[in-house]
Amino acid sequence: MKLRIAAGAILTLGLAVIAGCGGDSDSLTLDEYFAEFEMIDADVDAQVEALFADFPEGESEEQVFADDANLPFFQELTAEFPLIITNAVEQLNGLDPPSEVEDEHDELVEAGDNLIAAFEEASAALGETATMAEFAEVEQELDASLVQPATQRFDVACLDLVAAGEENGITSTVDCVDEEA
């Protein structure tokens, strides 16, 4: 379902959050910067995994998403996404990137802010739904019109940051694109 795309976006955001804002004298080295980036990514991964730990059980995915008793779980799940992303972007903003990746870092922060806004809007709309059918319909609409474009921008910014690191001899374990999405 589209929630996997949202989870992937959050994971990607977590990776991006590690990047940080630009500065002069206290800039991190490339190694330090990417080490921080990878720690933020790992933290986001852990938070998302914890969110899905209590995923409702059912005989099939369709059955889970058709059971209105699961609506509160999914509304709470989607309400948590913007919080995780916000925390990650704040951590990213707290970093002082080296000049070699400063432009890519700045774009990642901007893309992260855009992603936060998309998830906040989607979360608010999904919180107003009364049935799983309505939730699925609204989620599908918002995913296509709002979440996917913001996620794509974020993914591209993350990939550009990782590529800039690679151009400067840094190999990062951050995976900027969710393979399930």
Query: Residues for the chain: how many in total?
Result: 181
Work out the angle between the directed axes of helices 132-142 and 71-93 (0-180°, nearest 10): 30
Domains held by the chain: number = 1
Q: How far apart are CA 38 and CA 9, in angstroms?
A: 16
How does residue 168 score in pLDDT terms, banded at 50, 70 and 90?
Answer: very high
Lowest mean pLDDT among 10-14, 28-32, 102-106, 135-139: 10-14
Amino acid identity of residue 89, one-letter, is: V
The alpha carbon dihedral of 45, 48, 54, 57 has a sign of negative
Note whether residue 175 is domain-resident.
no
Q: What angle do CA 41, 13, 78 make, to 5 degrees?
A: 110
User: The tokens 């979440």 sit on which residue?
Assistant: 147
Range of the domain at 108: 2-20+28-53+61-167
Note whether residue 172 is domain-resident.
no
Note whether residue 181 is domain-resident.
no
pLDDT of residue 176: 87
Beta-carbon contacts of 37 under 8 Å, excluding residues fewer than 6 positions away, are 15, 16, 17, 18, 19, 95, 161, 172, 174
Report which of residues 17 and 32 the model is more confident about. 32
Q: What is the pLDDT of residues 127-138, one digit of tens each?
A: 999 999 999 999
Note whether residue 174 is domain-resident.
no
Lowest mean pLDDT among 6-15, 41-50, 79-88: 6-15
pTM: 0.83
